[in-house]
Amino acid sequence: ETGVTQSPTHLIKTRGQQVTLRCSSQSGHNTVSWYQQALGQGPQFIFQYYREEENGRGNFPPRFSGLQFPNYSSELNVNALELDDSALYLCASSGRDRSNEQFFGPGTRLTVL
């Protein structure tokens, strides 16, 4: 069974730039959720994708957007990067019948300078 994978591992960007983060879900899972984890904090829900549609969204501005592909992999896009966007971005996958039983990937650490 293949777990959740994310790429890249680390990323450094400057303020105002755009970034794309990628996630492959665990085999057998069709739902992907994205979270932002600032240093010393718990993860904060950004949004979830199911059947290539956004299925729910947390308190994040529209410059955070995503995609899900037919193979259930997903992308998180962040436009107009701000310094406060520096964080660990986590992807989690789950099956539709238990969408809150989520398994996380290793994360992408984004630094915005």
Partner 1 sequence: QKEVEQDPGPLSVPEGAIVSLNCTYSNSAFQYFMWYRQYSRKGPELLMYTYSSGNKEDGRFTAQVDKSSKYISLFIRDSQPSDSATYLCATSGAGSYQLTFGKGTKLSVIP
Query: How far is Cα 66 from Cα 22, in angstroms, rounded to an integer?
Result: 10
Query: How far is Cα 76 from Cα 91, in angstroms, rounded to an integer?
Result: 9
Which residues here bind partner 1, judged by CB under 8 A? 4, 6, 31, 33, 35, 40-45, 48, 55-56, 58, 90, 92, 94, 99-107, 109
- In angstroms, give the least distance from the CB of 6 to partner 1: 8
- In angstroms, give the least distance from the CB of 54 to partner 1: 11
Residue with Cβ nearer partner 1 (19 or 99) = 99
- In angstroms, give the least distance from the CB of 59 to partner 1: 11
Could you count the other beta carbons within 10 Å of the beta carbon of residue 52?
12
Helix (H, G, I), strand (E, B) or coil at 52: coil
Query: How far is Cα 36 from Cα 109, in angstroms, rounded to an integer?
Result: 10
Beta bridge partners of 11: 110
- In angstroms, give the least distance from the CB of 65 to partner 1: 18
Residue with Cβ nearer partner 1 (6 or 78) = 6
